[in-house]
Structure 1
């Protein structure tokens, strides 16, 4: 009898140990207790997973007894972990309440192609820099967007002044004047403003940056030969959003900024304010600044009006004032004397007023009207020379998006007026006016689930003139893009088009000598281009932990009727057209590997072979490395901390004097820790101290009359900064 009793006890214990349990979860929102469908629920360290149904319910069965951690995930909501012991000591469903994420993870919608499609279904190749990455890069450089673009594959930020730090953007190796910069679709940063443009766009209010590489004149007219960079602002939500940042660096820069936004059913607002202060900084002790003494501030309020559910009116005004003085550091600190006389001052004022009206119809059609007026005032001063000018830009655009079965049709027209007027005019006044009227049409056709086509055409009638000559041109600019999805993992995009660029005096080269001894444009015609891109994409998940994304892109551009800078017998500079073209071809390789959403590895390689056939002997485009490599490793625990390590390789470059620079590496490190609504960050940019003066002094000649070498790498050396961000 005792043996039978012991056997029954043993069987009972074994049965209990291996008992199979069933239970049910129901997931709701914490705010209004509504059920959530499609929530992913997994039991850690097991194969058991489930997804909630339309009633917010998820079922688990045949789970052995024991202690488990339940992980609950849903897009737009904070992740939640729940510990349970099986068997449960109560019956019924376990209710889970999810809190909405502070930063909602939404499908990436592209606005630069005018169709507002998701990036997965857009035939035109568009690269995006999203809010999370913008937030990381703004820790490194809160004052402007230069760091965001500098570390993107296929894009370089070219410094044009050794003392004042002015810079321009190059895409696919082409001069900065061939890249069009937009803020919310408004072109307010070209022409006379080009040397300061990226220095006056703060990242604090940005939601996304969209980059289209290759000819995009069909979409945006003149100046988009190399591509378009569109900075997209954040729009208010019902939940208020308040952001503040304070940053300080070892090179003497202080940044103080704030951004706020909120809306209700009828009205909303956003407000950006940023102030930057830079002390004069001379790292190599040659008495000349690598970073100028500067102070600038930006204020940008917007009002959003919603008369009804289908209509949105946005009224905004952005104001920026900047004063930058570089040169002899003794002069800047203590004033000029007989031995310290050289300076370079840039003082600018920019005011941009915008109006945006959107009206949706019941059929998801969209009427859009946009207008902007931009005033830019700038003065450049060096000893015994001062150049001052005012640039007025007016832009107006109306478009209508018509959606029919499997197709999106866009009809539009725009007007652009650009007027540069030199103040305190000399004998060679550089006044110049450009007027353009354009019509455009675009069709996006979902031919099948796998094949999507986008084609369009623009006609532009443009007139540009000054007191010396007047020229009118008529351009027909077709463009086509194709997206083909081979499978869920493989896809490819191919696109091509024509482009043009109206003449301008304001280029990277003329910026380097402050437009001194530069003659007005005379009989210079518009440049013309054609080109395209082709890529292939692969994206896959390996198990539950790994995500791999690969992209290989090839590009080609050819510019004919190029404008080149020449010098006459009297040492005056002037522009002229050449019949010999500029060709740029190459490829970009990008890889992204994510492990368990914590580790993220990014790698980008760019090969660029750009040549100007009008150059004698060495035809390589100057200040352009053939090979560039970008590497970044990020470890992040959401809403807790993040660590990042970056490395960049830049190949040799030809200078304008035909000398070849050495190649170099640079490295950076960043860390951020979150304490509730407050986060603290530190950043070490270029901590290996790569800088040009280590190879050769940038400044030549006497203090009173110096000359400067071309800038091909960092001038300020290593930079450390730290700051605090507050998000309410």
Structure 2
């Protein structure tokens, strides 16, 4: 009996010793001294693992006696290793500070919602394309941002001309006129100026691209029914940044450009300059260009003035000049003769002057005045027809951001004046004017640590008119968004609002026939919309090597009072409103897998079911695939080399003649090698040579009077390019 008692005492003592071996760690960022929820703590060689709570606190229990190796990990931070001799006498949690990993990207700050919050704490669903990806896509197409957007989930770049390559942006399957393009928050690409917009925005000076999908008129007024794409420029730092690029492709395109920026205490600057040259390119030997002969030039200087710590004044002027001629390749190379007469010429000048004044009333509050003047002049010429005009746009926005303990309040007002004036007008001139005055208010409220709400309302008074009619509308546009963080791995966003679009003649359809036989607007009212998005996010780490991020988003948009294009008995085109709505529903699935920070796999799937009830027989929106899949695999050693392989699947689409296109795959490859301050890159875009002329000739009829099929995939085929980048 005595022996049994001694054995029980021994067991109890051992158990007690183990139970006493608990340890608490408080994990913080070395840089910000803030707590790091979600950090993991593990005992080397054992299965004991714990995660930090919302306060950054970890408690590990039942640790065996003796020296133990404790490993602390958090995404974006270097691993921390502690050696602790247990049992340890601990009265307070041990504070441990983690150092940011060298490869960690800067924290993503969102400016499109005007609150300048981090993306993790913004209730409105905002997608970002960050500097690293912009840099990769710039290698593929330094001339413009079309490649950046084309390969994003839920966004497509729709080519509108077989010979000139003009294009527009579609979000969630809706026509390009429903997407509002911004550059640093300035709306300078609407109406007539939208025709060549994405072809005239270089990516070299961009720090990130922010995308809000679904009705966003509460934020930016008319035109944001499908969403907003905001191109954010880089701002100068004390350490100068000087980048240069030279690129050459097999299709005859040459790009030469550079971007420089630097600042000191009182003044700074940035300068973008880019020239693009394209030789006429006819890949299918049908004597018509797939890529037009073109030359364009962009120069964009900015001056940053810092009178004191609380004041910033930014003055900029962006000038782009473009000359594009497509059509019969013999005419372009040798001049017209009786057998070769068809051409399409686009000449444009775009000049945007901007001023941005920011005043911090204290550390938290901000008063801002932004104004811009945009001038866009374009001429379109084809045989026996010419269309010329100028678009003037003035935009002014005044806002005040008030930050309280747990909420941000924004009060603002803006004025927009848009005027299109046709050159050499007739009695049926397409002149049109729009004047809009708006007031808006937005509240972002951190209701709890887990729940964040954002609500806003805008009132717009808009007056639009020409020589044939005049109309005034008053819109009240509410919007609400919510972010709920279930834990450090799961979160969800839901939001919705109203939108509207004032009438315009300049759409994807009218662009295809160069606005020929198009009557001026008459008795056409604004389109209205409502809709929203909802998503679920999951992010986790597996061991020390894997980071997994998943996002599932659902969307719905309904447009009423839609404008539709019809043709009268005299074969003239005209717009009118219809009571039949347009509905766009669907979902997007995004997945990101990172292994040891070197291997990155991205997968995105989009299902879009967009229907126009006014269409006879087949209601599906034309040139819209219901299913689209994006895949990209990247292997990178930072500041050394990177390789990438991409694959894209596009489902069948309905053409305007009600025929179906085939589905197709396209693949791309990229590689870059860094030698100190010099990087050499090569790309093979669409190297399997998917192109429309492999299925059917795009050009029909005689050389002197051709007609063109709808464009539903690549026309130029495979593209190889190589270049050199210099970063100082």
Taking structure 2 as the reference length, the TM-score comes to 0.88
Give 3-state SS (helix, strand or coil) of 2:196's partner.
Answer: helix
1:617-628 equivalent positions in 2, closer than 5 A = 617-628=617-628
1:214-250 Cα deviation digits (max 9, x unpaired) = 0000000000000000000000000000000000000
Deviation at 1:47, TM superposition (A): 7.0
Give the aligned partner of residue 28 of structure 1: none
Cα distance in 1 for residues equivalent to 2:554 and 2:297: 40
Q: 8 Å contact 2:599–2:633 — kept in the other structure?
A: yes
Give the aligned partner of residue 366 of structure 2: 366
1:648-727 equivalent positions in 2, closer than 5 A = 648-727=648-727
Deviation at 1:370, TM superposition (A): 0.1
1:293-442 equivalent positions in 2, closer than 5 A = 293-442=293-442
Deviation at 1:282, TM superposition (A): 0.1
User: Which segments of 5 or more consecutive residues in structure 1 lack a partner in the other structure?
Assistant: 1-33, 50-60, 65-69, 82-97
Q: 8 Å contact 1:363–1:403 — kept in the other structure?
A: no
Cα distance in 1 for residues equivalent to 2:553 and 2:73: 37
Give the aligned partner of residue 550 of structure 1: 550
Q: 8 Å contact 1:38–1:74 — kept in the other structure?
A: no
User: Which segments of 5 or more consecutive residues in structure 2 lack a partner in the other structure?
Assistant: 1-29, 50-65, 81-98
Give the aligned partner of residue 199 of structure 1: 199
Deviation at 1:194, TM superposition (A): 1.4
1:567-609 Cα deviation digits (max 9, x unpaired) = 0000000000000000000000000000000000000000000
Q: 8 Å contact 2:44–2:68 — kept in the other structure?
A: no
1:186-239 Cα deviation digits (max 9, x unpaired) = 011111121210000000000000000000000000000000000000000000
> Does the C-alpha gap of structure 1 residues 99 and 615 become closer, same or farther in structure 2, counting only changes over 3 Å?
closer
Cα distance in 2 for residues equivalent to 1:503 and 1:582: 16
Give 3-state SS (helix, strand or coil) of 1:137's partner.
Answer: helix
After TM superposition, the runs of 4+ consecutive aligned structure 1 residues lying more than 4 A away are: 34-40, 45-49, 61-64, 70-76, 98-101
Give the aligned partner of residue 243 of structure 2: 243
Give the aligned partner of residue 5 of structure 2: none
1:390-428 Cα deviation digits (max 9, x unpaired) = 000000000000111211000000000000000011231
Cα distance in 2 for residues equivalent to 1:494 and 1:38: 28
Q: 8 Å contact 1:652–1:662 — kept in the other structure?
A: yes
Cα distance in 1 for residues equivalent to 2:255 and 2:186: 26
Q: How well do the aligned residues superpose, as a CA RMSD in angstroms?
A: 2.4
Cα distance in 1 for residues equivalent to 2:394 and 2:714: 36
Q: 8 Å contact 2:326–2:343 — kept in the other structure?
A: yes
Give the aligned partner of residue 113 of structure 1: 113
1:568-607 equivalent positions in 2, closer than 5 A = 568-607=568-607
Give the aligned partner of residue 178 of structure 2: 178
Deviation at 1:679, TM superposition (A): 0.4
Asked if 1:523 corresponds to 2:523, the answer is yes
Give the aligned partner of residue 452 of structure 2: 452
Which piece of structure 1 moves more, 209-218 or 420-429?
420-429
1:54-94 Cα deviation digits (max 9, x unpaired) = xxxxxxx9699xxxxx9999979xx999xxxxxxxxxxxxx
Asked if 1:277 corresponds to 2:303, the answer is no
Q: 8 Å contact 1:39–1:72 — kept in the other structure?
A: no
Cα distance in 2 for residues equivalent to 1:356 and 1:242: 24
Q: 8 Å contact 1:248–1:721 — kept in the other structure?
A: yes
1:106-135 Cα deviation digits (max 9, x unpaired) = 110000000000000000000000000000
Q: 8 Å contact 1:701–1:707 — kept in the other structure?
A: yes
Q: 8 Å contact 1:107–1:118 — kept in the other structure?
A: yes
Give 3-state SS (helix, strand or coil) of 1:671's partner.
Answer: strand
Cα distance in 2 for residues equivalent to 1:427 and 1:335: 34
1:54-133 equivalent positions in 2, closer than 5 A = 105-133=105-133
Give the aligned partner of residue 533 of structure 2: 533
Deviation at 1:46, TM superposition (A): 7.3
Give the aligned partner of residue 58 of structure 2: none
Give the aligned partner of residue 30 of structure 1: none
Cα distance in 2 for residues equivalent to 1:267 and 1:475: 42
Cα distance in 1 for residues equivalent to 2:695 and 2:181: 33
Give 3-state SS (helix, strand or coil) of 1:330's partner.
Answer: helix
| Matched residue count | 658
Give the aligned partner of residue 23 of structure 1: none
Taking structure 1 as the reference length, the TM-score comes to 0.88
Q: 8 Å contact 1:257–1:273 — kept in the other structure?
A: yes
Give the aligned partner of residue 211 of structure 1: 211
Cα distance in 2 for residues equivalent to 1:670 and 1:71: 36
Give 3-state SS (helix, strand or coil) of 1:303's partner.
Answer: strand
